[in-house]
Amino acid sequence: MNKRFYLETFGCQMNVVDSERIVDLLQQIGYRQVETPEEAGLILLNTCSVRDKAERKVYGHLGRFKPLKDENPSLILGVGGCVAQQEGENLLKKLRYLDIVFGTHNVHKLPEMVQKVEQNRTRCRETEFLDRETRLQLFPKRTEGEAVTRFVTVMQGCDNFCSYCIVPHVRGREVSRPSAEILDEVRHLAGTGVREITLIGQNVNSYGHKEGGEISFAELLARVNAVEGIERIRFTTSHPKDLSDELIDAFGYLEKLCRHLHLPVQCGSDRLLREMNRGYGREQYLRKVTRLKGICPDIRLTSDIIVGFPGETEEDFEQTMELMAQVRYADVFSFLYSARPGTAAADLPDETPAAVKQQRFDRLLSLQEEISRDTWAADIGKVLPVLVEGESKQGKGQIFGRTTWNRIVNFEGDSSMIGKVVPVRITKSFRNSQLGSIQEPGARSR
């Protein structure tokens, strides 16, 4: 039996964490990961349905593997993640060559499913949502470091039901992990050499809201801040309505908390924010940004913006552009709206022509490119602390790390620096990264 597996992951960091878990689980039943589908006896896709036409793309991706299955009928093909959760039995009905469908709450069942197919060639599906208690027992945990940076899952699911978003439908309700367990994991990872922790969850700053007696997210950050060996802390993704004053203040006094916050605004029009069911208005959002910048003047913000939400007028769009110009995000991930079946917004009338939406999208992109270029170019000449993560793809003798603002910097150095924070003078700035040169400790910015 070919005990090699090939895994493709789509979408967000939550999926990356699920994929790490998939790797662990498959290794436990004797599988070894390989780089190409041709070498594998088991091929898995871990899917995401947040973005445009996700289901169609998954069908397309699976089609790529059909010739391999035709050639080798014992090859096992499986799909997990949000599309598997959403489509369930449909996937098995439509694709006769597919063997396994596992939903977002069922990753732990994967070994059992794989063994069932190995032994009986039984096609199987597991997509039921689990109860709260079971989910708490199954939270993804990392026991090995082997890296400088690690994600730690602190909550899962979402109760917000933004009208355009599929996540609450495919990931289930919010559940927060006990803080004691999170801190144990962080301490353990610190002991294995991890230096930067990113606390993740679909709606991470609502951590503990539903759990009586749990600490607040700001307090959780303070406790992670106290863990010896950890040098940097990040968290994502935050909902603006759950960004408390206590959490904003934490950016002023937690020395390990990176000075970057991804704070998705989605749009700048109050009318559309209501239609999106975002739970905050433009002014409320801007007040939080002002407070953040007051507490931490060099904080850099990034955001998600949807262009062409149903009913978006020119005036709504202009309000989004004005907000962007006012906040001056370091980067924005912008998306042209596309309806997700099963969400509230999917039924809204949408009469704006596609060409108009595209024009708006292009205008927004060009404004953001200008702001991003200026933001990152302003770093040239500065000496910034960079946490070195590994050898760079740029070639021999090059290593890379990140600044507090989560920007990748490539520079000359050797592997003995991996895991250390070193002073780097920024010499060039590109669209997605920067170039630098290492300095003596204490070097000053020009």
Which region, judged by CB under 6 A, interacts with ligand SF4, from 10-18, 159-167, 190-198, 364-372? 159-167
How many C-beta atoms surround the C-beta of residue 297 within 10 A?
8
Can you spell out the DSSP letters for 154-176? -EE------TT--HHHHH-S-EE
Stretch 119-158 residues interacting with ligand SF4 (CB under 6 A): 158
CA–CA distances in Å: residue 216 to residues 59, 243, 254, 260: 41, 11, 15, 20
Among the listed residues 6, 68, 62, the one whose alpha carbon sits nearest the alpha carbon of residue 31: 6
Long-range contacts at 281-284 (CB < 8 A, ≥ 24 apart): 282/319, 282/323, 284/240, 284/241
Task: Provide the minimum distance between the beta carbon of 49 and ligand SF4 in the complex, in angstroms, as a whole number.
Answer: 11
Q: Toward ligand SF4, which CB reaches closer, 103 or 168?
A: 168
Residue 110 contacts ligand SF4 per CB under 6 A: no
How many C-beta atoms surround the C-beta of residue 194 within 10 A?
24
Q: Which residue has the tokens 């002014």?
A: 283
* Helices first, then strands: H and E counts in the chain: 14, 19
Task: Provide the minimum distance between the beta carbon of 386 and ligand SF4 in the complex, in angstroms, as a whole number.
Answer: 31
Q: Toward ligand SF4, which CB reaches closer, 168 or 436?
A: 168
Residue 168 contacts ligand SF4 per CB under 6 A: yes
- The site string for ligand SF4 over 238-277 (x = CB under 6 A, - otherwise) reads -x--------------------------------------
Q: Toward ligand SF4, which CB reaches closer, 168 or 419?
A: 168
- The site string for ligand SF4 over 275-314 (x = CB under 6 A, - otherwise) reads ----------------------------------------
Three-state DSSP at 445 gives: coil
Task: Using CB under 6 A, pick the residue from 19, 176, 198, 203 that binds ligand SF4.
Answer: 203
Q: For residues 389 and 407, is the Cβ–Cβ distance under 8 A?
A: no
Task: Provide the minimum distance between the beta carbon of 55 and ligand SF4 in the complex, in angstroms, as a whole number.
Answer: 18
Q: Toward ligand SF4, which CB reaches closer, 201 or 413?
A: 201
For residue 225, give the H/E element and its range.
helix 217-225
* Burial (Cβ within 10 Å: 0-12, 13-18, ≥19) of residue 309: buried
Task: Provide the minimum distance between the beta carbon of 122 and ligand SF4 in the complex, in angstroms, as a whole number.
Answer: 34
Q: For residues 168 and 119, is the Cβ–Cβ distance under 8 A?
A: no
Residue 161 contacts ligand SF4 per CB under 6 A: yes
Task: Provide the minimum distance between the beta carbon of 95 and ligand SF4 in the complex, in angstroms, as a whole number.
Answer: 28
Task: Using CB under 6 A, pick the residue from 160, 403, 406, 429 that binds ligand SF4.
Answer: 160
Q: Toward ligand SF4, which CB reaches closer, 139 or 280?
A: 280
Q: Toward ligand SF4, which CB reaches closer, 306 or 324?
A: 306
Tokens of 276: 């999106």
Residue 165 contacts ligand SF4 per CB under 6 A: yes
The residues, any chain, with a CB within 8 Å of residue 100's CB and separated by 6 or more, are 44, 76, 77, 78, 79, 110, 113, 114, 117, 123, 124, 125
Residue 167 contacts ligand SF4 per CB under 6 A: yes
Which region, judged by CB under 6 A, interacts with ligand SF4, from 1-9, 75-83, 164-172, 180-188? 164-172
Residue 172 contacts ligand SF4 per CB under 6 A: no
For residue 352, list its beta bridge partners.
Answer: none
Task: Provide the minimum distance between the beta carbon of 421 and ligand SF4 in the complex, in angstroms, as a whole number.
Answer: 32
Task: Provide the minimum distance between the beta carbon of 180 and ligand SF4 in the complex, in angstroms, as a whole number.
Answer: 26
- Strands of the sheet with 149-153, listed across from one edge: 149-153, 196-200, 232-236
Three-state DSSP at 350 gives: coil
Total residues at interface with ligand SF4 (CB under 6 A): 10
Sheet strands (E) in 292-407: 300-307, 331-336, 383-391, 398-402
Task: Using CB under 6 A, pick the residue from 46, 179, 202, 236 that binds ligand SF4.
Answer: 202
Residues contributing to the site for ligand SF4 (CB under 6 A): 158, 160-162, 165, 167-168, 202-203, 239
